[in-house]
Amino acid sequence: MSPVTALTYVLPHRLLSSMARKLAYSRNPRIKQWLIDTVIHKFGVDMAEAAEPDPRAYPSFNAFFTRALRPGARVPDADLRALLMPADGRISQCGPIEDGRIFQAKGQSFTAAELLGDAASAAPYANGLFATVYLSPRDYHRVHMPCDGHLVETVHVPGRLFSVGTDAVASVPRLFARNERLVCHFETEFGPMVQVMVGALLVSGVETVWSGIEIPPYGDRITRKEWRDKNIRLERGAEMARFNYGSTVITLLPPGVAELAPQLHAESPVRLGERLATLTG
């Protein structure tokens, strides 16, 4: 464990994230432009892909961070049997859920029940598949649907806000099941599917297309919202949610419905709309 990761155990996670949020939403021209220019140059952000390519046109850093893509910047896999990659980024890990456990890194794992907030919700995914996608500061920060889905329920699970960088993932036990997160349950043509929006240190905001900002406020208990009767249906490839200042999305699939794309492995760079998995039914 690096000294920086060790330090995060004692840092005031929520206070630091709240301070970062204020900076991200600042409309002070000098502050917001310094933040935008720093990220563009440090991480090599390709502004040619953005609907608004002018970095100075964004009213705040968060507006830049959650920027839309220009039409045609991402083309979804044309095979309708393909489940789509939900975001730009890189694969942290992917593979089978083995006896209800999800692999995090060498020597680290957590249970689907811990991730989703209860055992009953996790039961359909025992021995299913998972993919964890890390979104870096250079990436497009909106999350889209792998397939058509009917929103059933969201669950806000309170927690810490550890970094989700490589060292932290390798050394913080059960990291993704400890961080604050929004669990989004869907019904699809092949059964249940879940997408988990995981917050992180300094990058803890989550907003959905159906209800707006969900996190913050940060939670002190598990909060469930029932959406089954609201008739919220999202099409394959449609925007689902966004990170107001970045992080990680985890997709869970039930067993026997799909096979992960064979080229995917830890640290694979991925782009929205590429093949995540192929339906087998």
Q: Is 26 a catalytic residue?
A: no
Among 13, 144, 156, 185, which one carries the catalytic annotation?
Answer: 144
Among 13, 60, 77, 88, which one carries the catalytic annotation?
Answer: 88
CB 47 within 8 A of CB 55: yes
Among 92, 121, 204, 247, which one carries the catalytic annotation?
Answer: 247
Q: Is 268 a catalytic residue?
A: no
Q: Is 265 a catalytic residue?
A: no
Q: Distance of CA 276 to CAs 247, 250, 251, 268, Å? A: 19, 12, 10, 12
Give the catalytic positions in this structure. 88, 144, 247
